[in-house]
Chains A and B, each alone.
Chain A
Amino acid sequence: EADIYQTPRYLVIGTGKKITLECSQTMGHDKMYWYQQDPGMELHLIHYSYGVNSTEKGDLSSESTVSRIRTEHFPLTLESARPSHTSQYLCASTPGRYGTDTQYFGPGTRLTVL
C-alpha cells in the first residue's frame, strides 16, 4: 500500500490568489513528480525531482513552481492563479533511479480557478 498524500483534495479559488498544493510521501522515495490532468483525462508531466534540492521542469510548460527541501515533501505553488490553471494535479513518487520502478500516485487535487 502506497502512502502518498495530497491536500487539499478540492480547491475553488479566485483569480490572482497564491496557492500551494501539498504532497507528502512516507515511503522515503527519492523521485517525485507532479502531473497535470486536463478535463479530457490526458496527463502531462509538469515537474519532477530526483531528491532534496533537485527540481526539474517536465514536458508540459507550467507557470507553477516546486520545491524539495525535505525528501518527503514536494509542494507545488502558483503565485497568481488564473482560470487556465483549472485542472486536476496528481503527485507521484518512485523508490529508485530506474524506469522499471512503479510510480505511486496520490489521490489528486482538483483545482478550480474562477
Chain B
Amino acid sequence: GNSVTQMEGPVTLSEEAFLTINCTYTATGYPSLFWYVQYPGEGLQLLLKATKADDKGSNKGFEATYRKETTSFHLEKGSVQVSDSAVYFCALSDPWSGGGADGLTFGKGTHLIIQP
C-alpha cells in the first residue's frame, strides 16, 4: 500500500535559518505529491504540489522537488520566519493504484517552531 514518512518533530530553528523537512514515500502507481500546512486551530492549507517526476513546487519561499529515483519530496526554505511556525504534512495521491480508498495519504506531520 501507499505510505508517507516524514521527519518527526518538533523542529526548532532560529529566525532566518535554513529549513529542510524530509519526506519519502512508497506508492504503487504514479502519485502526485503535496505539502500542506496547518496553523494552530485551523484546517490544512495547500502549500505546494508536484504532479510528476522532476517537477518543483514552490510557494511563499518554500520549495520541494519530486525525486522519483529517491522517492522523496523534501521541503526547503532558505530563511524561515516566526510566522512559519506550524505543522507541515507531506502527502500523496495515487488514484492509479487500482485499489483501496481514494483520498490523500499523509505523513504524521512535523511541528516546526521558529524562535525570534
Contacts and interface: CB of A to CB of B under 8 A. Distances in A.
Given A31-B102, A57-B101, A99-B32, A43 B45 contact: no
B104 interface: yes
Interface stretch (A12-20, A64-72, A79-87, A105-113): A105-113
Is the interface on chain B under 10, 10 to 19, 20 to 34, or 35 or more residues? 20 to 34
A113 B38 CA distance: 24
A45 B93 contact: no
A70 B41 CA distance: 28
Interface in A8-52: 31, 33, 35, 40-45, 48, 50
Pairs of residues from A and B, 8 with the lowest C-beta to C-beta distance, nearest first: A99-B93, A105-B43, A99-B95, A41-B109, A45-B103, A105-B44, A100-B51, A43-B106
B108 A48 contact: no
A95 B100 CA distance: 21
> For the side of the interface on A, what is the size category?
20 to 34
Given A58-B103, A99-B93, A108-B43, 8 more contacts: A35-B103, A45-B105, A56-B101, A59-B100, A100-B51, A102-B34, A103-B103, A107-B42
A76 interface: no
B102 A48 contact: yes
A102 B33 CA distance: 10
Contact of A48 (B43, B51, B89, B101): B101
A98 B95 contact: yes
Contact of A105 (B45, B96, B101, B108): B45
